[in-house]
Amino acid sequence: MNIIFQSGEFFNGINSFWPNIINVISALLGALISGLIAIWIFNKGLKKEKEKKRNEIIIENNNLELYFFHSVESVIFFIEKQVDEVLKCSRKTKDWNKSNFWLSILPELTTRNIWDINQEKLYDIFVSNSEGDIKFKVNDFINLRICLYNIDNVVTNQKELIKEIHERLIVNIELWNQSRKKLLNLSNSFVLEHNLKLIKEKDDFLKFYTDLMVKRQRNLIENNVIDSIEINFKELIEPLKKYLKDNPQFHDERVYKVSETLMDTQKAYSEIKYLRYEYRKNILRAGQKLIQVKARMSLCISNIKKRKKIYK
């Protein structure tokens, strides 16, 4: 009885071991499979989230790139308009009937919108995430920025030039006006002195001077050209200078008075003429600079647009 019982007990112990092992293995396999499925689902979700984020970055970069190109095109458009203004202004500086010959600086010609864009993001778009040789990509990006700096410098320098030239012109135009007025007053003074003389002798200088300062000046007024410094100089000042040179009258005090004022008039005229010339030369140089900048910008933008984007 004991042997049979022990034998039966022995076999029952074996029979209960394997099912337990199988259960443990099944549990482990189930946990492993569940874990693998969970990992797969997690990775799939992570990949999907990463892809979503990547697409969002692509859309954001495309919008930023589009805004940048529109901004650059706007700058190029207003460069052309500003060059037109330079040509108009240049013609005005040659016309002495035009007292207002200042260059109009278009407020739309500004790079502020472009500089407000995150420059690191632009670098990533046009350099890091674009196909092509890194040297050429970087050169286009840097050259484009240099063009923007040049535009800012041209606009700033022109504003400063206008201020400087305008201040100097005001001083010399005031000297011109005062000198011309003094020459006219001298004419009245000379006539008064002559009329007070008891014995009135022939006075060639007085006749020439009054004809010039009164009659000819009246003609300029009637012809609406009295405000033209150039015409005034040719019609009044040059004939007076020639007369004094051809008819020296060293004993006549009136000649000294006229000559002193004439020197101020000549000085004012020469300075005004020089300033108009310098102004014209500088604005034409600025216009040429803008044309060069426009060509350089257009080339850089063309190169950038040809490159395909790479998003990892």
Report DSSP letters for 12-80, one per residue: HHHHHHHHHHHHHHHHHHHHHHHHHHHHHHHHHHHHHHHHHHHHHHHHHHHHHHHHHHHHHHHHHHHHH
Give residue 1's pLDDT. Answer: 45
**What backbone torsions phi and psi does residue 130 show, to the nearest 5 degrees?**
-125, 150
Give the H or E element holding residue 262. helix 253-306
Percent of the chain residues past pLDDT 90, beyond the cut: 54
CATH of the domain at 170: 1.20.58
Structure tokens at 143: 């050259």
What pLDDT, in 10s, does the model give residues 140-189? 999 999 999 999 999 999 999 999 999 999 999 999 999 999 999 999 99
Task: Note down the domain range covering 98.
Answer: 70-306
Question: Is 26 part of a structural domain of the chain?
Answer: no
Tell me how many domains the chain contains: 1
Distance CA 97, CA 113 (A): 39
Question: Is 52 part of a structural domain of the chain?
Answer: no
Give residue 246's pLDDT. Answer: 87
Question: Is 195 part of a structural domain of the chain?
Answer: yes
Question: Is 217 part of a structural domain of the chain?
Answer: yes
What pLDDT, in 10s, does the model give residues 96-139? 877 778 899 999 999 999 999 999 999 999 999 889 999 999 99
Percent of the chain residues past pLDDT 70, beyond the cut: 86
| Residue of 57, 85, 187, 118 lying closest to 195 (CA atoms) | 187
Question: Is 148 part of a structural domain of the chain?
Answer: yes
Question: Is 180 part of a structural domain of the chain?
Answer: yes
Question: Is 268 part of a structural domain of the chain?
Answer: yes
Question: Is 40 part of a structural domain of the chain?
Answer: no
